[in-house]
Each structure stands twice: as structure tokens, then as C-alpha cells.
């Protein structure tokens, strides 16, 4: 798996540097893993898997300039794939689910640093009122739209926007005070 990640990143970097053959090889190499990724999440018999694979490959091509050369390729690729799947399912009116066993493959390997970041984030969010915290978690961490988060929390979309804005401002101020 580590060797595969290294090879995919090598192809990505060569592709970014203008090597068209490496770029084609990368897109061919990730096609099958993307099919497996979508099949596992959308259901093996889902008719639109190939469409979502194609949308993802096009998005990777279009957004390749956003790839951070210092980061791993896999998490970036699967983040693009996840967003494309969510877009597709939203158009159909369905919400995706993620198998927890695949969390590391989707998000990348967990590190001590990422654990510390999650702990610090949880501590900061715990300082907010429950509804405000849940709105921020829904919109900024779980990927819900503002309208969806508002509906989940039983408030208007306008109230949700104000609450999220104020909550993020409060978090920023508290984090700054803690740093001083």
C-alpha cells in the first residue's frame, strides 16, 4: 500500500510537471480503486458508478493544481472522490454513508499530530452552546449545506448562518486567548 501511494504520488508530480504519459498512467491506475471506492459506498449494483468515476477523474484533472506536493496523493484523491459522490447522491436526494473500517483509507493515516488536533478542536467546540456547536460540526466538519444543517437543528437558514459566523468568531477569539 505504501509503495502504491509512492508510485501514485510520483505519477501525480510528473503529471503536474507536464509529463502527459505519467498523467495518463495515473488516471488509469486510480480508475479501478475509484470504482471499488464507489461500489462499496453506493452499492455494488448502483447504475451510476461509472458516471461518478468519470466525474471524479475529470475533477482530479481540473483541480490538479490544488494538489499540495508535500502531501500524500491518496487522501487528496479520495477527498475529491467523496465530494463527487456526495454531489451525485444529493442530486438524487440520497445521503451517503461511510464504512468506518475505511476511515483511514479515506482520511489518510492517523498520526499523533492529527489526534492532538482533534482533541484540541473538541475542547474548543465544547466551549460553545450545544446548538451552535452542532451547526458548526454539521457545516464545517460533516459537509452538510447550511440549509441541511439548519433543518437538522430546527432553525432557519438565516439563523444558522448567523450562529455559525458568531460561533467561529468566538472560537477564533478563544483560541487566540489560549495561545497568548
Angle of CA points 41, 42, 47, to nearest 5°: 150
- Give yes or no for a contact between 67 and 12, defined as CB atoms under 8 angstroms apart: yes
Measure the CA–CA gap between 102 and 104, rounded to whole angstroms.
6
pLDDT over 80 at 22, yes or no: yes
Choice between 180 and 42, residue whose per-residue pLDDT is larger:
42
Measure the CA–CA gap between 173 and 169, rounded to whole angstroms.
6
Virtual torsion, Cα 25, 29, 30, 34, nearest 10 deg? 140
Q: What is the mean pLDDT of the chain?
A: 82
Which of these, 32, 114, 140, 21, lies nearest to 77 by C-alpha position?
Answer: 32
84-111 residue pLDDT tens: 888 888 877 755 555 544 545 545 555 5
113-125 residue pLDDT tens: 556 667 777 888 8
In this prediction, residue 23 has a pLDDT band, given cuts at 50, 70 and 90, of: very high
pLDDT score at 4: 85
142-173 residue pLDDT tens: 778 888 889 988 999 999 999 989 988 888 88
pLDDT over 60 at 132, yes or no: yes
pLDDT over 90 at 30, yes or no: yes
Nine cell digits for residue 153: 437543528
Amino acid at each position: 500500500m505504501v509503495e502504491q501511494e509512492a508510485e501514485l504520488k510520483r505519477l501525480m508530480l510528473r503529471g503536474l510537471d507536464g509529463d502527459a504519459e505519467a498523467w495518463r498512467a495515473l488516471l488509469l491506475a486510480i480508475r479501478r480503486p475509484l470504482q471499488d471506492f464507489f461500489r462499496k459506498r453506493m452499492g455494488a449494483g448502483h447504475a451510476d458508478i461509472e458516471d461518478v468515476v468519470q466525474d471524479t477523474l475529470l475533477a482530479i484533472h481540473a483541480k490538479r493544481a490544488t494538489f499540495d506536493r508535500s502531501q500524500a496523493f491518496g487522501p487528496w484523491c479520495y477527498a475529491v472522490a467523496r465530494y463527487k459522490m456526495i454531489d451525485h447522491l444529493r442530486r438524487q436526494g440520497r445521503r451517503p454513508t461511510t464504512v468506518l473500517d475505511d476511515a483511514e483509507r479515506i482520511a489518510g493515516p492517523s498520526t499523533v499530530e492529527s489526534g492532538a488536533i482533534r482533541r484540541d478542536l473538541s475542547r474548543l467546540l465544547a466551549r460553545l452552546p450545544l446548538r451552535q456547536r452542532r451547526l458548526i460540526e454539521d457545516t464545517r466538519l460533516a459537509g452538510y449545506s447550511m440549509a441541511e444543517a439548519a433543518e437538522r437543528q430546527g432553525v432557519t437558514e438565516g439563523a444558522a448562518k448567523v450562529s455559525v459566523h458568531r460561533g467561529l468568531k468566538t472560537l477564533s477569539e478563544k483560541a487566540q486567548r489560549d495561545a497568548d
